[in-house]
Amino acid sequence: MSIKSQKAKAAEIARILEEYFPEVLIPLEHWNPYTLIIAVVLSAQCTDERVNKITPLLFAKAETPEEMIKLSVDEILEIVRPCGLGPAKSKAIFGLSKILVEKYGGSVPATFEELEALPGVGHKTASVVMSQAFGFPAFPVDTHIHRLAARWGLSSGKNVAQTEADLKSLFPEGSWNKLHLQIIYFGRKYCPARGHDPSVCPICKRFGVG
């Protein structure tokens, strides 16, 4: 498929996503960059629904990096354990909070380079924070978006990095921040990984894929 026809397909997919999900809320509950970055760290291999049940318990004890480092890693672990990967996540939360206090005066930095240098923060997490906390154009690609991009024929990327590059080349930069959320919500409702029926998915049905 030529890049021109690929872009036409992408534009049609964007139109469908806008039709079905004109308004999208950030699925992880937070109220500032710090609470967002903690929620995103906890969301690795964990549902947003579960994270949103755990973060109020954690933030009741510590909602700033200064408060977080007053807790021990074990105290953090006791709260976040239900999110899975508890030992690694609790160490990352303590470690990144300590760096934010010591290096950034308690604030979350607003560059990819600085974010990705924090414990437990990879490119996808940094992309979520840059887009949702700071409004910087980014296209966070998780395993769900990676799967849908392949299913819809938007990318043949073997990894999320390649899929991200492909999607960025197909969609206008100004749409990225909203679009990645639209894809997530659309996938959950109409295009799931298991039990998928292409005949009832508006995108798969439109393009004869799935």
Q: Annotated catalytic sites, by residue?
A: 124, 142
Instruction: State how far the Cα of 121 lies from the Cα of 112, in Å rounded to an integer.
Output: 10
For residue 140, give every residue at least 6 positions away whose Cβ sits within 8 Å of its Cβ, in sequence order, or none: 124, 127, 128, 131, 180
Judged by DSSP in three states, 187 sits in helix
58-90 core/surface letters (b: 16 or more CB in 10 A; e: else): bbeebbbbeebbebeeebbbebbeebebbeebb
- Among 134, 131, 108, 141, smallest CA distance to 38 is for 108
CA pair distance 188, 107, nearest whole angstrom = 33
CA pair distance 27, 48, nearest whole angstrom: 7
Euclidean distance between CA atoms 77 and 58, whole angstroms:
10
Q: Are 77 and 87 in contact (CB under 8 A)?
A: yes
